[in-house]
Each structure stands twice: as C-alpha cells, then as structure tokens.
Amino acid sequence: MKKLILLFTLAAVAYSACSQSKPAVIPLYEGKIPNEVPGPNQEKMEVREGNVEITSLVRQPTLTVYLPAKGKANGTAVVICPGGGYWILAAGHEGADVARKFAANGVTAFVLKYRLPDPAITSQPEITPLQDAQQALYLVRKKAKEYNINPEQVGMMGFSAGGHLASTAGTHYTKSQIPNPENLSLRPDFLLLIYPVISSDTAIWHQGSFDRLLGKGASKQKMQAYSNEQQVTAQTPPTFLVHASDDDLVPVQNSVVFYQALLQHKVPAELHVYQRGGHGFGMVNKTTKDLWFDRCLNWMGSNQLLVPAKPAPQGK
C-alpha cells in the first residue's frame, strides 16, 4: 500500500512539474480582432508525414510564450513566425522546436500563430499577417517588464513565408497597422530569416506566397511594395540569413538580394548558404554536420544580444 501511495505521489509531482513548464498561450488581441469576418472557428492542427505539425484556418491569433529557466534570461526576446506559404503554419519544426532552443539559451521566445490572408477570415487579407506581426511586437514590448525583457532587444524570426512576414515587419514598420496608444516601437531590433521568401521578381519568387498574400494578378506597384529587398533602408534591422543553394521552392537568390540590399545600405548582416539542404529543413539541415542555430547564436552574441544589457546610469 505504501509503495502504491509513493507511486501516486511521484506521478502527481511529475504532472505538476510538467504543467508548470508548459508554455503559456496568450491571445494576441483583447476584445474584437481587427478586420474579422464573422464565421465559425474551424482552426485545426494536424501532424503530417515526418512528424510535421501543421496549423491551418487560424481565426484567433495567439502568442505562445517560452520562458528561459529562472536566472538564465538575458533580456533578449524573439517573435517566431512559422512558414507555410501564407496557406498554413508549420508550427512545430519552424515554431515550438526553435522556441524551446532559444529559451534554453536564455532568450525569451514567442511563437506567433498569425492569421493567414484568407478572405473568409479577414476583410483585409493583404495587411492581416503584418497586422498580427506588429501586434506581437507591440504586446511583447508592452509586457517587457512582466517577462524580464529589454524592450530594445526584441527581434523577429521567420521561416519561408514567415520570413517574408518578418522581413515585411522589418521594412514596413513606419506605418502602423494597429492601435498603438503608447507609441511603442513596431520596428524589430534584429531579424533572423531562414530560407525566406523575399522578392516578387518572377525570376526568383515563390509565386504561391505572393498570390496568396496579394491575390493573383496584383498590380506591379503592390508587388514591388512587398518585394522587401526593394524596401531596405539604412534603418532596416541587423539581419542574419540562412538558405540552401539547392532550394528549388524558394530560390537562394531571395536571401542573396536581401543581403545585398543590406550591404548597400550599410546594415550589419550575415548570410550562411549551404551547398545542399533543400527547403523547409527547420532546425537541422541533414546534409551537413553544421548547425545553423549555432551560427545564429554566434551572430547574436557578436551583436551583444546574449548578455543582459547594462542598466542606464542613474542621475544624481
């Protein structure tokens, strides 16, 4: 009997520890969701071949919060935008897996479940993903003290079409798509772009992403507005990029042209191009022993993003 009680006690302790470590999920908006088209919530999550977790039909955007262990946080935060061609969200290998790795290295990570440009869900498909990305940056900075974050060390990461969204947030931040009564910065402090969709140049574009975001037959002006290598300025955030040369879905030139634009404007940047790897490899490119995430941490460290910021000196 005593052994049975002990087993139940240990199970309860283990369950409690597991519950406490479970990441919190917070709604992106309080109250009414902007541009919402009324309809049933048909969001679904499925696990596809290769244990790939996919979320679709997002109607209620959220942030999932991954906190570093107590005493390990360095004040840096990153909002992660999974890819999926603006059609679905690869929320596992391009979201939760990456967030856990960041948290283990002292970076507070937020996985953004953003609305996709679906007219059945939003009345303004073109701006809705950017709206959610800006709201995520706003919310993280607003809650910076609560999460022990330095509001001047908040970056955005994106994979594939999520990379297009992150690069849009990093180049279109001067126009607010959300209410911002506190006038908080909507500019990411740094960008991490992993095999990103960038350009609307038909020689290198990912047509599906642009068709989905802007609609088929979008005007030349609109296509150029979302061709983010053309939107880079000297104020674009420092950027880390990863791509594979043999990516036959989103050509490597997407990262190259963005990197070249950053160089032209003297924005700090680093580009890693692997010989092989294809598209959508997530955390691990199986064609090489090299881990791009280690390169990413090195870059962040060289930009003073992995050590707590020194407090400002107090006036007399």
What does DSSP assign to residue 188? -
The confidence score (pLDDT) of residue 21 equals 67
What does DSSP assign to residue 232? -
Q: Which helix (H) or strand (E) holds 254?
A: helix 253-264
The confidence score (pLDDT) of residue 311 equals 54
Cβ atoms 114, 129 nearer than 8 A: yes
d(C-alpha 10, C-alpha 14), whole Å: 6
Q: At what angle do helices 207-214 and 161-171 cross, to 10 degrees?
A: 60
Token pair 């890819």 is found at 83
Q: Which CATH class is domain 69-179+186-302?
A: alpha beta
The confidence score (pLDDT) of residue 73 equals 96
The confidence score (pLDDT) of residue 47 equals 87
Token pair 């999926």 is found at 84
pLDDT tens sequence for the chain (316 residues): 444 444 444 444 343 333 346 899 999 999 899 999 999 999 999 987 777 889 999 999 999 999 999 999 999 999 999 999 999 999 999 999 999 999 999 999 999 999 999 999 999 999 999 999 999 999 999 999 999 999 999 999 999 999 999 999 999 999 999 999 999 999 999 999 999 999 999 999 999 999 999 999 999 999 999 999 999 999 999 999 999 999 999 999 999 999 999 999 999 999 999 999 999 999 999 999 999 999 999 999 999 999 876 654 554 3
Cβ atoms 80, 110 nearer than 8 A: yes
Global pTM? 0.91
Give the contacts of 12 (CB within 8 A, at least 6 positions apart).
none
